[in-house]
A and B are shown apart, each in its own frame.
Chain A
């Protein structure tokens, strides 16, 4: 056996092997692409095996049989064109043109009888086969440029195989028209090209699994490298987006991830990142079915297989779908769906890749679920702790004045019982009155805080002049208290709950007095600025440490330089102030310098007509 004969035998064997592999694949997944591949390699394998058998047995074929075999070979580039059409789109002109040329060539085969065909006809057939094959090779090459991962590599191999196949045809056609030594040389070149083409087809159409894995590796690794940091992203939606992006890059298709919502009993999927998620029941559409059946589903005709969503598939130009469940052990987490405009030629290997990606997505989502679970536990513990703190602080603060009221009142009662004529104990009575008022204020604050939690502190709004209101509040300050200077610049009218704004001003002025031990004056300003009503309450008291400023409006907050012994209260005052302001749609903030005093700022919306003026 010569080297050339060996090469011929090898390439022929490869065609037979590919035929068996793609035929088997067609039996497993009956896609148009698998059918076309099977026909293509079926013809090649038939031609090869038939000629071997004929040579071996020394048979002489009848002419119609030989013509039919040649016609089948002439059919090959058209099958390639169909394969191109399976994966991308071939212009109608080219389809119809190639069909016409094919019919003309085949008719010619049967029309021209005799031992040799006219050279012009042979040239035409060679040009047709080679030209169409070149075209297909280029289209595969362009498809490869757009694809990713395994698909890209396989497309490249097929593109190479197709172009070499075209060159092989050219070499064979040219050789037939020449004499030695050119004929022998071209025949040899043709054999080498044939083997190379067969190898290209083999790698493209039926690559061994180790090669597929090697081709997948870079995309998978990139995906995994990114996946490691995903569970820490701020929200599940962010994670889903990133996973979808990774899966899309790794497969060269559109990717969507649906997350199983245990409480809802549905799969949540975000088709539009800005919009609300859609909910899919298990068993409905491909995602629901893959989730329910816990297996990878593939469809090259989604509109037919899922008629309910046919319009959506057509609208989004979805021509193929792979849906695979995302599952961690026994725990069903969701589903990964890959969409493509055209059915991919390699549905099965894309399915394998989709499963790998889904497994990784499962790890990411499960880690996220664990992080969320831990955070929820922490939040619940924190909420319980805050509630207990609140209750015990409230109970403590209520019991303290109550102690005085109870013990002092019983003591007065005992004294009056023993000696009804004794003069009344004025200081004892005053203590009871003072502590009862303190109790009453505490209860009011507690109720206000409870209303505030429900966001219904403010009611009955009506046009109110802040300047007049503030002046009234300031004038009510008891004699002997610090002097309060009020500076009102014009009428400042808005729609306010006058009672609550009074409470706000009383709290702020009282606070200013309370924390100004040296009886320094308190200044209150009211004006309007930039379409807002503005109020300031400025004292020259002890001030608030900068580190405490951000939290003085929180519940039970108290500046760290406040001596609890001198300043009573539950720390609810400023919390309620903030509630009043914010329920009016305003803002409250404070500026302060230790030892120099504090300024509390309030900004409230003005009424509509005021703002226009």
Chain B
């Protein structure tokens, strides 16, 4: 029980940070569309995306309760390993300068330019295209948030804690986005991905092992140990792969 309670903050923090990254990416696209085409199509698309997301959660959420816990932990563990280590790998390569850092300002400029080009080609359909763009962005980034919430929360009955972290992150990003009306390029996206990648990978090892019948020493607290090991190995990987900024392939 103590071990279970000890997981509340790591689960909530991981859900918050991961959702922050996704929400910032979605906001960049919504802002780009709003800049080119106005808030009406951008907002309509985003709302439609949120509605479909809510439908998916309402339709599939109750099914989780019918899946045997061991199987749920195993499947979620593998998906977390794939998802978390993919993030961690990218964060390591970016921190080492092997691949360029993700830049929200550049993503905003690219999205805006694409929409302007589409406007030049086909003015009549642009509102539809604009709405579709925000719909897709909100749905895809939202699906990632839903996956993260389920993956972090379902294995130990902490869906409420994980959901609270995710909702808080989305509200913070939406509020800041409404106030500043600019892409949140100052958010240290790669550092967040680095931390979240470590946490998700640690949870992934834990759930996968539990699903296979491994009784980890320290029970749930083993996750903290795994996170420390992933952090040490990842930091070493960054140091070994580090190259001068000039060599970064754009």
* Pair from one complex: no
Tell me the B residues contacting A by CB distance below 8 Å.
none
Tell me the A residues contacting B by CB distance below 8 Å.
none
